[in-house]
Amino acid sequence: MEFQSRNFQRLAANLQHYKTIAKQLVKDEEQVEDLIHQAEEKAKKQAVSISQFIETLTWFIRLLRAYLNKEYRQVPWRSLIMILAGVIYFVNPMDIVPDFIAGIGYLDDATILALVMRNVQKDVEAFREWYRHQKYSS
């Protein structure tokens, strides 16, 4: 149990690190677009059997893209930074558990994205409603 607690603390500390990076990155639309592209490519390559992980990542990418395109700006700054930090963590190949380790390389990515989703769930749900309305009203 202590091992799990230490690992969770390390994950949380890493997320804080990526939040710091996200605060700088969010100011550069070109870099955010590049990050979105990297995340999409990595997600396509790693279409493993963790559909919830992929679904969460997909909604994060959609929200970031809508924000970047100035289509959806109702997301709170704190949530935007959390989501961006989670995507940065996902794109980084050398995180706590390196992605190249077969079978477990994406467990930390999934954990970080789940942690982020838990903190921004309400804002992502609001975006989903907006997104569905946009999709079906066109």
At 81, the amino acid letter reads I
Can you tell me the distance from the alpha carbon of 102 to that of 23, in angstroms, rounded to the nearest whole number?
32
Task: Tell me how far apart the 2 most distant CA atoms of the chain are, in Å.
Answer: 52
Q: Is 65 exposed, middle or buried (0-12, 13-18, 19+ CB in 10 A)?
A: middle
**Helical segments of the chain, H only:** 2-25, 29-45, 51-68, 77-91, 107-137
Domain coordinates in residue numbering, the chain: 2-137
pLDDT in tens, 70-117: 999 999 999 999 999 999 988 887 766 665 555 666 778 888 898 999
**Which of 49 and 110 is assigned the larger pLDDT?**
110
pLDDT in tens, 53-81: 889 999 999 999 999 999 999 999 999 99
Q: Flag whether the pTM goes above 0.85.
A: no
At residue 52 the predicted structure's pLDDT band, cuts being 50, 70 and 90, is confident
